[in-house]
Amino acid sequence: MTMTYIRTFAASALALAVGAGTAGADTWRYAFEEAMDEVQGKFAQKFKEEIEANSDHSVQLFPFGTLGESADIMEQAQSGILQFVDQSPGFTGALIPEAQVFFVPYLLPSDEEQLVSFFRNSKAIHELFPPLYADQGLELLTMFPEGEVMMTTTEPVSGPADLDEVKFRVMTNPLLVESYQAFGATPTPLPWGEVYGALQTGIIQGQENPAFFIESTKMYEVTDYITRAGHNNFTTAVMANKEFFDDLPEEDQTVVQNAIEAAFDYIIDYQDGLTEASLEKIKEAKPSMTITTLTEEERAPFKATADSVEAEFLKIGGDQAQAILDQMKADLAAAGDS
């Protein structure tokens, strides 16, 4: 069965479901980029639980692959076929250039308390980003971190020289491409569904993701090295179709916002210890896997690229790029002081 056929079938099935549910208008549809037992899936299940416990509405969940790739579910959310969507700024960067700021290396802190404080309280996230999402027909409900991003490769990496001529899969995001070019690699944008096979056949030699995702998708089967360079934390955003959200009665908007807050608190607690547990599972499944945490000295040449990537962000990051970057830095400083 081809991917085109699967997408067509899924879209047709969803259209039928939409038509069947219109009369009651009680079922809200929510798609995300991961499996049910991964971080976005856990967040979505908690959101569903809260909505159904506190209203007459029900929530239908669509994990990765059921409705196509990331671009497909974003189109469905913008058109109103989906009411909710969870998607990384890595994929919304083409729609909202300012969202690419999350791919400036070493901008986000590695300290977990500071990171969580930033996502809870950031003026950039809660005040500056929502109008940019609204321009694309989306209501930004929250952003949250999913874990330290790690490189998985077929050869060891201890510095940028080791990435020379390495074809490294990246999301279709211009700034992430710029970041890996600065790291010395040959960035290769690919849809997620093609990554395992591309690593298996040698079309690419590396990719990056949080540890839980490397473990659950079995990326360790087709790579031999995990490198913790500390360069980023995976960020995702939960959005609603704006027309749908604006048309909700005030009480339902409050239910949605309360469910988002409860799911945010839940997912932060859920991730406590998840990275190390996932790495242990990888080592159990593949004892030959080499997991390396780079020293500060080894990270220095990677960190040295941050200024050039930041400068590129200011060129391609949209009209609000400077304001977003400045506010994020202020927010991060405030989170560090809290």
pLDDT tens-digit map of 96-135: 999 999 999 999 999 999 999 999 999 999 999 999 999 9
- Which of 45-54, 92-101, 266-275 has the least mean pLDDT? 92-101
| Distance between CA atoms of residues 85 and 14, nearest Å | 14
Q: Tell the residue number behind the tokens 């940019």, with chain if given.
A: 132
Task: Tell me the longest C-alpha to C-alpha distance in the chain.
Answer: 62
Handedness of CA 97, 102, 106, 108 (dihedral sign): positive
| pLDDT band with cut points at 50, 70 and 90 for residue 17 | very low
Q: Which helix (H) or strand (E) holds 201?
A: helix 195-201
| Distance between CA atoms of residues 93 and 336, nearest Å | 27
Specify the CATH number for the domain of residue 248. 3.40.190.170
What is the mean predicted confidence (pLDDT) over 65-76?
92
- What's the confidence (pLDDT) of residue 337? 84
- Which of 3-7, 119-123, 154-158, 311-315 has the least mean pLDDT? 3-7
Query: What percent of the chain clears pLDDT 90, i.e. is strictly above it?
Result: 85
Tens of pLDDT along 215-230? 999 999 999 999 999 9
Count: domains in the chain: 1
| Distance between CA atoms of residues 131 and 201, nearest Å | 43
* pLDDT of residue 12 exceeding 70: no
Q: What are phi and psi of 228, to 5 degrees?
A: -100, 95
* pLDDT of residue 163 exceeding 60: yes
| Distance between CA atoms of residues 97 and 78, nearest Å | 17
> One-letter amino acid identity for 272?
D
Q: Residue 242: helix, strand or coil by DSSP?
A: helix
Quote the domain boundaries for residue 45. Answer: 3-337
* pLDDT of residue 32 exceeding 80: yes
pTM of the entire structure?
0.91
CB 152 within 8 Å of CB 170: no
Q: What are phi and psi of 99, to 5 degrees?
A: -65, -15
- What's the confidence (pLDDT) of residue 5? 40
| Distance between CA atoms of residues 247 and 283, nearest Å | 50
- What's the confidence (pLDDT) of residue 14? 56
What is the mean predicted confidence (pLDDT) over 23-38?
85
* pLDDT of residue 170 exceeding 60: yes
> One-letter amino acid identity for 52?
E
Average pLDDT across the chain, whole number: 92
Please give the residue that has the higher pLDDT: either 7 or 199: 199
- What's the confidence (pLDDT) of residue 90? 78
* pLDDT of residue 4 exceeding 70: no
- What's the confidence (pLDDT) of residue 69? 85
What is the token pair recorded at 102?
Answer: 């999350």
